């Protein structure tokens, strides 16, 4: 079944590349990151709630929590920093893969 996750801190193709790569490495297929709307939407083909929880955990570990998740000031700052690094890695990976 296809599930749509509304995600915070996603800004560009570098972010989308990082998210897609991490989810593919975890065994997920049919991944789409929609950058045309706010909040950004990550669509993933999942089988059950356990996989849904796994996707949420992967997104959060990269600095991309679900939109509307309540975080404290320090947690929010840490997630934004993680997303900045994930974005940079995604941009670098995209540039290197096209060489």
| Tens digit of each residue's pLDDT (9 = 90 or more) over 6-42 | 999 999 999 999 999 999 999 998 999 999 999 999 9
Q: Pick from 82, 84, 85, 31: which is nearest to 55 by CA?
A: 31
pLDDT in tens, 42-61: 999 999 999 999 999 999 99
Predicted TM-score (pTM) of this structure:
0.81
Asked if 71 and 81 count as a contact pair (C-beta separation under 8 A), the reply is no
Show the domains of the chain with their CATH numbers: 2-98 (3.30.70.100)
């Amino acid at each position: 079944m296809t599930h749509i996750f509304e995600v915070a801190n996603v800004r560009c193709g570098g972010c989308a590349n990082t998210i897609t790569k991490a989810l593919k490495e975890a065994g997920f297929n049919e991944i789409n990151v929609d950058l045309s709307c706010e909040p950004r939407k990550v669509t993933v083909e999942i089988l059950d709630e356990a996989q849904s929880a796994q996707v949420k955990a992967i997104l959060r570990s990269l600095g991309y929590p679900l939109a509307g998740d309540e975080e404290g000031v320090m947690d929010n700052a840490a997630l934004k920093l993680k997303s900045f690094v994930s974005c940079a890695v995604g941009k670098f990976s995209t540039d290197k893969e096209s060489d």
